[in-house]
Amino acid sequence: MKLISSMPLSEKQVVQLMSARPDLEIETVKAFSEPDSQVEALLTYGWDVTEETLELYPNLQWIQAMSAGVDRLPLIKLAEKNILLTNVRGAHAIQMSEHVIWSMLNLLRQGRQVMHQQDQKIWSAKLRVEEMYEKTVCIVGAGTIGEAVAEKCRAFGMTVLGISRSGESHPTYDRMGALGELPHFLEISDVVVAILPLTQETENFFDAERFSQMKEGAYFINVARGPVVDEEALLEALKGGKLRGAALDVFVNEPLSESSPFWTMENVFLTPHIGGRSPGYTKRMFDVLIKNTRNFPERQDMINHIQLDKGY
């Protein structure tokens, strides 16, 4: 089996892979640019594989994306060629759920303003602070990460609502709903968390209409992908007071332009797409790679299959 990787691999990682699959031949490259009829698998962060890339490897059977989102990959062409795509779903759950809780606390406890006061050496206890306890949170995109967020929110005494495609009940949530129930869930939620994947259906999912459906003075957190939000509509909701605040880790264009108004808004807690970062992430995503490498080409034994027609 030959695998080529556009992400760097340490000597230790190569040894681990070879131990899992003794017949493995590994090649690391800066870019997928040279044709090779022996290649059966690609390892990528998920942004450097195009339709043209696929033509370089006529015997390609599997792509392992070392990310959760796969929206930048040529999904239609992968389906046409019957190429298996897997991701590292689950590897982000711990750190991203912690990031959501941190963001929520910053919004409710006025973290941005407190840090400003510290920088200016201002001693003032006049800030309006709130509790997570007994507030209602709606998690839009109730997958693996959403479940981890839900567990932590329940530990803080919150009522947890979830939106998924099926709306199937889940013990971690107080109530689950399908898309048709979203308007009602938005109307009663103090905090709305976006964790849904980016697909054709979810681009600009949070638009002016959905922000208008939210509870007056609610908070909005986006750790999904920037394009799931209509940023102009979000700005209007924040400026007009419909939303009390927002925590944003992702944006339509990254890095965020210095001219973006989000930088200077007092009711915005902004982070540079770091929700998925943590020391433990590398090991968790590599565990997925090892399992799938060991079991290839037995697709039924490989994990984290992407449904190419749905994009997740």
Catalytic positions, please? 225, 254, 273
In the DSSP assignment, the letter for residue 113 is: H
d(CA 215, CA 242): 8
In the DSSP assignment, the letter for residue 180 is: G
Write the DSSP string, 6-41: SS---HHHHHHHHHH-TT-EEEE-SSS-S--TTEEE
Query: What are phi and psi for residue 182, nearest 5 degrees?
Result: -60, -45
Number of H helices, E strands in the chain: 10, 12
Question: Between 279-295 and 11-20, two packed helices, what is the crossing angle to 10 degrees?
Answer: 30
d(CA 71, CA 74): 8
Cα 76 to the center of its chain, rounded Å: 21
User: Token digits for 89?
Assistant: 């779903």
Partners of 268 in the β-ladder: 246
d(CA 217, CA 205): 20
User: Token digits for 172?
Assistant: 């971690």
User: Token digits for 260?
Assistant: 């973006």
d(CA 233, CA 239): 10
CA atoms within 13 A on the CB side of 93: 17
Around Cβ 240, how many Cβ atoms within 10 Å? 9
Cis ω for the linkage preceding 255 (within 30 of 0): yes
